[in-house]
Amino acid sequence: MVLPEDPSIELLRDLLSGGGPDEELFRSAHLKLLEEMGGRVYLRGLVEISNNCRKNCFYCGLRRDNASIDRYSMRPMEIMGSLRRGYRLGLRSFLLQSGELLGEEHLEMVAGILRSCSSTMPGARMVLSLGELPEEIYDRLRIAGGHRYLLRIETSSPVLYGHFHPDDPLHSHGARLRALEYLRDSGWQTGTGVLIGLPGQTVEDLAEDILFMKRMDMDMVGMGPYIESPGTPLLERADEIFPAETRILLTLRMIALTRLALPGVNIAATTALQTLSVSGLERGLLAGANVVMPNLTPERYRESYNLYTGKTRVRDTPSEMIDDLRDRCLAIGRELSLYDPGDPPHFKERTGRGESPDDDR
Ligand code: 5AD
Ligand code: SF4
């Protein structure tokens, strides 16, 4: 299967709805990955630094009005401890994630962590996923040592976005889009992604999402299936939620088509995919994903980072987790890459910038 460089919406829609044999689609995407970027699988050590959030998205367990979870914010020493442990094991890229928080104390704490990492963890790429922040904060965090930013658009359709978010200025699709454009144009390696299998979402919407990510010239993509989450309004529409296997298949087709349409980007086999399917890791990688995010968040906080139900409860140490990932990659003919930040070729093509993390400061 050869997908044209600029696939039409009709073709994407057709393939997303299972109009072609899936195995062939996945095999082509995997082949494309091997040709363009090789078979290495890159790791991002995830630290979920706080589960507080000022927003109220209808699908997410961390939403402000969900009073049933224990809220926490990790202390800087704890965060640095988790990062250092990962660095010693050979991880060279770390993702700091939290709900959306505008407090100066929180943001200055993150800036401090980035500064420490710049000076004590040479060669590491720092990835942030902290939601929509004012432009001057994005700049400050980049100057402090941030390299990559992930801001999911969740859906490229403003109408659908409106169905899953409160109708107020805090949840504006336009503002989210502008934040993403600002990140992309201000020197960040930029990633976005969407939720797949939301009630009422069509293959047409998902096809538009792929074209959106291409048009937006993204460097990284992280997308996963929607998963039911207790304490959220969307659960009230339970009868409209697609069966899990449908959401998994849609996600795998999205990964494959994104790989074919945006060849030089990094694509994650997300935790959500791995939660919904026990072989989600392997299936995601074989459909064209090349990034996995082992969770380095200390055990005592992990249970409170409840984006959705059933997030895999891992009792393994980070070292055991990496050994396990190495074995699982090898079993499908892929190689786990350590000591390498795994910059997406697309970033270099887009910006002409070198790959040293310090080139731009
Ligand atoms: N199922 C799957 N993913 C979810 N997210 C939030 N809630 C859910 C859910 N119920 C994702 C969103 C957000 C990211 C941090 O987690 O896409 O951007
Ligand atoms: Fe907050 Fe993100 Fe969850 Fe929305 S999806 S409630 S912004 S953590």
List the chain pLDDT tens, one digit each, 361 residues.
778 878 999 999 999 999 889 999 999 999 999 999 999 999 999 999 999 999 999 999 999 999 999 999 999 999 999 999 999 999 999 999 999 999 999 999 999 999 999 999 999 999 999 999 999 999 999 999 999 999 999 999 999 999 999 999 999 999 999 999 999 999 999 999 999 999 999 999 999 999 999 999 999 999 999 999 998 999 998 889 999 999 999 999 999 999 999 999 999 999 999 999 999 999 999 999 999 999 999 999 998 888 888 775 566 789 999 999 999 999 999 999 999 999 999 999 999 885 555 444 4
3-state secondary structure of 275: helix
The CA 60 to ligand 1 mean position distance, Å, reads 6
Mark residue 262 as left, alpha or beta (left: phi above 0; alpha: psi -120 to 50; beta: remaining).
beta
Predicted local confidence at residue 359, as pLDDT: 45
- Please give the DSSP secondary-structure letter assigned to residue 76: H
H-helix or E-strand containing 10? helix 9-16
Q: Choose which residue among 60, 180, 270, 306 to substitute to test ligand 2 binding: the one with the highest number of ligand atoms within 8 A of its C-beta.
A: 60
Decide: 286 and 332 in contact? Cβ < 8 Å. yes
Alpha-helical segments (H) within 270-317? 271-276, 280-286, 299-302
CA–CA distance, 46 with 173 (Å, rounded to integer):
26
- Confidence at residue 360, expressed as pLDDT on a 0 to 100 scale: 41
- Please report the pLDDT score of residue 55 as a whole number: 98
Q: What is the model's pLDDT at position 353?
A: 80
pLDDT in tens, 78-118: 999 999 999 999 999 999 999 999 999 999 999 999 999 99
End-to-end CA distance of the chain: 43
pTM listed for this prediction = 0.96
Phi, psi for residue 262 in degrees, rounded to 5: -130, 75
Around ligand 1, the residues with Cβ closer than 6 Å are 59-60, 152, 154, 195, 224, 226-227, 229, 272, 307-308
SS (H, E, C) 175-226: HHHHHHHHHHHCCCEEEECEEECCCCCCHHHHHHHHHHHHHCCCCEECCEEC
| Cα 277 off chain centre by | 17
CB 183 within 8 A of CB 239: no
Give the H/E segment covering residue 248.
helix 244-261
Please name which ligand lies nearest the alpha carbon of 99: 2
Assign residue 339 a region (left: φ > 0; alpha: ψ between -120 and 50; beta: otherwise).
left
Question: What local confidence, expressed as pLDDT, does residue 354 receive?
Answer: 58
Which pLDDT belongs to residue 309? 81
Decide: 276 in ligand 2 pocket, CB within 6 A: no
pLDDT at 6: 87
Mean per-residue pLDDT over the chain, rounded: 94
**What's residue 306's pLDDT?**
83
Q: Which ligand is nearest to the CA of 272?
A: 1
CA distance 262 to 260: 6
Ligand that comes closest to the CA of residue 307: 1
